[in-house]
């Protein structure tokens, strides 16, 4: 019997009621979206776990050398490589990748840029293994970091 590859599947989303990020499993029920930790706290209502669906992001399974978990929607910087610029973590064609600011500006316009060009889209797994990747924000709280200067 082959070894089973284990990976952590979890999500995060922003709860506007409590003004905080919630980490755990994702569910949708009757049009509402929720992220719930493994154990629900007593004395809390479902409203405490309801998230803005626009902020939902899946964990990539990767952690930076600085100990930060990397989620879809995170903005990352590559230490020592200013030519690589700031990148956005996206899920595209069945894998997590990093997109340039230019790619992001196309996405905002509803246009999918040509991601097959290595200079514009790179496998996140390859970069995270270098230890040079830092999470510097996310698209929901820091969209200004993706504006090309």
Instruction: Find the domain containing 78 and state its range.
Output: 62-146
Predicted confidence at residue 118, as pLDDT, reads 44
Q: For residues 37 and 106, state if they share a domain.
A: no
Q: State both tokens at 22.
A: 């919630």
pLDDT at 47: 86
The number of domains in the chain is 2
Q: What is the mean pLDDT of residues 33-60?
A: 88
Q: Say whether both 68 and 124 belong to one domain.
A: yes
The mean pLDDT value for 79-88 works out to 69
| pLDDT, mean of residues 124-144 | 79
Q: What average pLDDT does the segment 38-46 reach? A: 76
Shared domain check, 45 and 101: no
39 and 18, same structural domain? yes
| R_g of the chain, CA atoms, integer Å | 17
Rounded distance between C-alpha atoms, residue 100 and residue 122, angstroms: 9
Query: Which residues fall within 8 angstroms of residue 58, CB to CB, at 6 or more apart?
Result: 9, 10, 11, 26, 71, 72, 91
Residues 137 and 80 occupy one common structural domain: yes
The encoded tokens of residue 136 equal: 């510097």
Q: Are residues 48 and 69 in the same domain?
A: no
Q: Is residue 28 part of a domain?
A: yes
* Spatial separation of the C-alpha atoms in residues 80 and 3, rounded to whole Å: 38
Same domain, yes or no: 91 and 30: no
Say yes or no: 76 and 135 in one domain. yes
Q: What 3-state DSSP class applies to 35?
A: strand
């Amino acid at each position: 019997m082959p070894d089973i590859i284990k990976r952590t599947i979890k999500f995060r989303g922003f709860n506007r009621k409590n003004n905080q990020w919630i980490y755990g499993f994702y569910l949708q029920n009757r049009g509402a979206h929720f992220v719930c930790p493994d154990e629900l706290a007593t004395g809390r209502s479902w409203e405490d776990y309801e998230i803005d669906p626009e902020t939902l992001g899946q964990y990539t399974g990767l952690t930076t050398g600085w100990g930060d978990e990397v989620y879809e929607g995170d903005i990352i910087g590559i230490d020592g490589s200013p030519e690589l610029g700031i990148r956005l973590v996206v899920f595209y064609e069945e894998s997590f990748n990093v997109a340039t600011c230019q790619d992001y500006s196309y996405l905002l316009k509803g246009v999918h840029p040509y991601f097959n060009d290595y200079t514009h889209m790179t496998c996140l797994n390859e970069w995270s293994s270098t230890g040079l990747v830092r999470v510097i924000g996310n698209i929901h709280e820091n969209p200004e970091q993706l504006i090309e200067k």
